[in-house]
Structures are given as structure tokens and as C-alpha cells.
Amino acid sequence: MFAYGASLAKKLGIPGEDANGVYSAGAFVNWYNGLPSHRHLHFNLGGPSHVATSNGKRAIIIGHGNVALDVARILLTPLDLLAKTDMPQYAYRQLANSNVKHVTIVGRRGPVQAAFTTKELREVMRIPGVAFRAEDRIPTFDFLPRPQLRMMKLLRQHKTLEVAEKSITLKFCLKPKRFLADENNLLIGMEFIRQWLEDPSDIKSNVRDLAKEDEPAVMTADLVFTSIGYSSLPLWGMEALGINLVNGLLPNDAGRVKAVSTNDFGLEKPEDARMGRVDGIYASGWIKTGPTGVILSTMLNAFETGDSLVQDWKDWKPFLQPDSEEKGWDGFKKEVEKVGGQPVEWDEWKKIEVEEVKRGHTLGKDREKIVDAQQMLALATGHAS
């Protein structure tokens, strides 16, 4: 069962992406969620803005998904509310010194095509002391699918603060053209090309450039977070099993992984490839569907994969090669230990949880995440000092 998600943040691939002040939204999310591999990152959130006429730092987030809204929410949520969450103290301290006051969330297509959910949108609309604005006229199509109808209604009816120290603005139909930087490669803004939709009411509408190359839309910014999706990475040994990733996910049917008979894995579309079922191999989560949905949809697609596995078991589908040995968890543990890994079982993980809850209570919150992997292993094995 492959369920290791999609961890590689996609890049825009436009000029200036290496400017100081351009960050991956995925890296920022991993940082404030306490992933050990990201705990040493630093983001230029504090200090005065270097952008002319700016009242506080200005941030642009590229992408209209849930991750983009989540980044905006974290950047502007009042500190007293963040202090009650399980956010690690290193992230809280850096956000406490933040001078980010204005966030613009930019998407290439329109409001009907936005990938964020109504729930996430509501959360950013309700941040205390933050003005929320959706630029451009919101369409009134009455034949849209229910989720889009609810979204359009929310955007049209939402009443926000007219004047506030902090703000979130949604902008539509703008395609990133290039990042702008000063002589020290410090970000100062972005150029965009205006877009138009062939059918604004179609969720999958094609989009075209509207402005001429010499008529870009320009925005000033101190920071930019790119949030244009993720891709999965292949694991060593996959090809030996006869499987590979196609467009960043494992081709599958209801979670049952399929092999692809093509030499062009990076470009071949899953639906166009010649596929064959690989017995006993399954996928769940973003490695199965690509980076989409929320926890509920991820749960449902996991249930679907589980149902497929159980049905195959009942139908006596072959799960092992004739000469293979069934090793189970104990066999897997031994293989991990051979390469220097240290497996952590449920009871050992509970020891880590107990310590996190204990540390959290001293700070007046539910838990304080431990972000050092070696410290977690020491706690799990009872070797902590």
C-alpha cells in the first residue's frame, strides 16, 4: 500500500523565482506545522517594509487552493489565537515579530474555477480585525454545481470591515509573468498577464492571455508564497515492481495500482497510457489522486482503497509471488533496522504524545510539538535524559 503523499512543491518556472523573498507555501506550511526537516527555516516576516507606500509588509500568494488560504490565515491571525494552537514555539516567536499586514491571493482563473473550499474561505473571512475583499464582479450563474453555488453566494454576500489595519484580497484571472527584484536580488513585486476565460461558468474552462506583453499588471510585494500544487516522488525499487509515477501519481483504478506500458512516464497522460493491473499493490491519498481535496475527501478515497483490498482478498486475488515469503510487520522491522532505521511502534509513539501534552499544558495549550527527531526517538525508547 503506497500512501506517502505528494511532497515536492511545484515551481512556476518564470524569471526571478530565485529572488530573496520568494518562498514555497508548502515549505511554510511544513515549518509552522513543526516538521523536523523544516524547523530551521527562516522567513522574512519582520522589520519595516521596503516596498514604497506600503503600510506594513505586503505578501502575495500565488494559487487559489486551500493551502494558499491557510498561509494567509496563519500570516494574519491574531497572536492570542495562534498561542492556543499546537504551533511550535519557534514558529510562534517568528510570527510574533511579523510585520505582514496585507495579503493578496492571486489565481490564474476565475472564482468558479477556484480550488479552495467554502469552509476554508469562511475561516479567512472571519479572522478578527482583518478586512476581506474579493476583487472583480462575482458571477451569478444559477446552474453551477452546489459547491460552486455556495462559494459564489458567500463571496457576494460577505460583508467585511471597510477599514482595518490588516487585509486579505482575492484577485482572479492573473497569470504570473515574472518576479521583480532590486539590485540586491531582494523581491519588490511581481508582473502578471491578465487572463480571460472561454466559459466563466465552466469549472474546467480554458484560459487565454488578455493583455499584450507590453501591458502587464504589476503588484508590489515584500514576500511571495507560491502555492500551485505538489507532485509525488518515485521510490527506489518501484520500477522493479513494474510500476512508476505518471504526472506525479500512481495510475490506479479505485486504489488498485496499474503498470504503464510506456517509456515516457513524465509526459504520458494516465488515461492515454496502456495499463495493466499489478496484483497486490495499492495506493491511497495524494499518491493516488494527486494533491486535491480536504481531510474528508482523503478519508473517503482511503475507504475506497480499503474496500478494493478487502474485495480482492475475498476473491483470492494473488497478493504474493509464488516464491515470496510472507514477512509482515516483523519482517519489515528487520529490513528497516538493516539500513540503520529505528522503527517506532504504537506504544512508543504514545510516550512521545504524553511528553508533548505535558509540555503544552505548561504553555496553556493542548500540546507542544517536539520537532527534533532524535529527541523523539530518545523518548520513544526510554533513553531521554
| Alpha-helix runs per DSSP H in the chain | 25-32, 66-76, 79-82, 89-96, 118-125, 146-157, 286-289, 295-314, 328-338, 346-362, 373-381
Query: What's residue 105's pLDDT?
Result: 96
Asked whether the beta carbons of 174 and 137 are under 8 A apart, the reply is: no
Give the burial class of 13: count Cβ atoms within 10 A of its Cβ; 0-12 exposed, 13-18 middle, 19 or more buried. Answer: exposed
Query: What's residue 267's pLDDT?
Result: 44
pTM beyond 0.75, yes or no: yes
Q: Which segments of the chain are extended strands (E)?
A: 8-9, 22-24, 57-62, 100-106, 130-134, 166-171, 174-181, 187-197, 207-209, 217-220, 223-226, 230-231, 252-253, 256-260, 275-282
Q: What are phi and psi of 352, to 5 degrees?
A: -65, -45
Query: What's residue 279's pLDDT?
Result: 79
Helix then strand then coil, in percent of the chain rounded to 5, is 30, 20, 50
In this structure, what is the dihedral angle of CA atoms 243, 245, 249, 252, given to the nearest 10 degrees?
-30
Query: What are the grid coordinates assigned to 204, written together?
Result: 474546467
Query: What's residue 265's pLDDT?
Result: 47
| Alpha-helix runs per DSSP H in 339-372 | 346-362
**Residues of the chain falling short of pLDDT 70:** 53, 136, 159-163, 211-215, 260-275, 317-326, 384-385
CATH 3.40.50.720 assigned to domain 239-324? The reply is: yes
Asked whether the beta carbons of 91 and 34 are under 8 A apart, the reply is: yes
Strand duo 22-24 + 8-9: pairing: unpaired
Query: What are the grid coordinates assigned to 32, written together?
Result: 509552522
Task: List Cβ neighbours of 46 (8 Å cut-off, separation of 6 or more).
Answer: 94, 97, 98, 99
Amino acid at 342: Q
Q: How far apart are CA 354 and CA 36, in angstroms?
A: 18
Q: How many CB atoms lie within 10 A of CB 370?
A: 18
Query: What are the grid coordinates assigned to 293, written together?
Result: 481535496
Query: What's residue 341's pLDDT?
Result: 87
- Best CATH choice for the domain 9-229 from the list 3.50.50.60, 3.40.50.2000, 3.30.365.10, 3.30.420.40: 3.50.50.60
Q: Where are the domains of the chain?
A: 9-229, 239-324, 346-381
Q: How far apart are CA 371 and CA 37, in angstroms?
A: 8
Do the two domains 9-229 and 239-324 of this chain adopt the same fold? no
